[in-house]
């Protein structure tokens, strides 16, 4: 892949869109004192370069009755089973993300559930996967997301 360099204008466009993907390009143009056409071209280039990979809604799952978050560490009988188990894990919709990790666990995943009873079912499902030796669960009592803007600003400072 061709190396793609973002300049200050790109940074500011991302900075605005990361908080609201539907911000009109004309608004961005006004703020940055450039033309809307330029904003359009810049965004398209970042999409083509694969830096912007898409856009997504932020949903409040708590309001939908899914307030329970836990992390589950998975121990495997053999690490050679990693791929197989990972595939099985990804079939469970309530597992939102899974990682192959070094350290204590072989696989490490995050689950989103209605309540403890529901979480129990999900964890039992994980435990039941062939090759899983045992699991260890950490229940989230409080989640605090860091602002995406802060990370971006720090990244931009170094680019």
Partner DNA sequence: GGTGAAAGCACCGAGTT
Partner DNA sequence: AACTCGGTGCTTTCACC
Q: Which is nearer to DNA, 32 or 100 (CB)?
A: 32
31 in Cβ contact with 23 (< 8 Å):
no
Site for DNA in 28-87 (CB under 7 A): 33-38, 40-42, 44-45
Which run of H or E residues covers position 112? strand 107-113
Which of the ranges 28-36, 50-58, 123-131 carries the binding residues for a copy of itself, by CB under 8 A? 50-58
Secondary structure class of 107 (helix, strand, coil) = strand
Which of 34/70 has CB closer to DNA? 34
CA 45 to CA 39: how far, in whole Å?
A: 10
Nearer residue to a copy of itself within complex by CB, 41 or 151: 151
| Cα dihedral sign, 145-6-35-48 | negative
Contact (CB, 8 A) for 102 and 152: no
Binding site for a copy of itself (CB under 8 A): 1, 4, 6, 14, 17-22, 49-61, 63-66, 69, 71, 86, 90, 93-105, 108, 112, 114, 136-146, 148, 150-155, 158-159
């Amino acid at each position: 892949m061709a190396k793609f360099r973002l300049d200050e204008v790109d940074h500011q466009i991302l900075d605005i869109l990361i908080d609201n993907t539907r911000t009109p390009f004309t608004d961005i143009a006004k703020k940055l004192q450039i033309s809307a056409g330029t904003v359009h071209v810049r965004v398209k280039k970042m999409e083509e370069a694969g830096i912007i990979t898409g856009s997504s809604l932020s949903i409040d799952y708590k309001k939908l009755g899914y307030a329970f978050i836990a992390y589950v560490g998975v121990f495997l009988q053999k690490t050679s089973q990693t791929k197989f188990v990972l595939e099985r894990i990804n079939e469970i919709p309530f597992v939102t993300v899974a990682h192959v990790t070094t350290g204590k666990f072989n696989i490490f995943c995050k689950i989103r559930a209605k309540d403890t009873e529901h979480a129990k079912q999900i964890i039992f499902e994980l435990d039941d996967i062939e090759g899983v030796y045992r699991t260890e669960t950490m229940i989230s009592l409080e989640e605090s997301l860091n602002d995406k803007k802060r990370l971006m600003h720090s990244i931009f400072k170094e680019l």
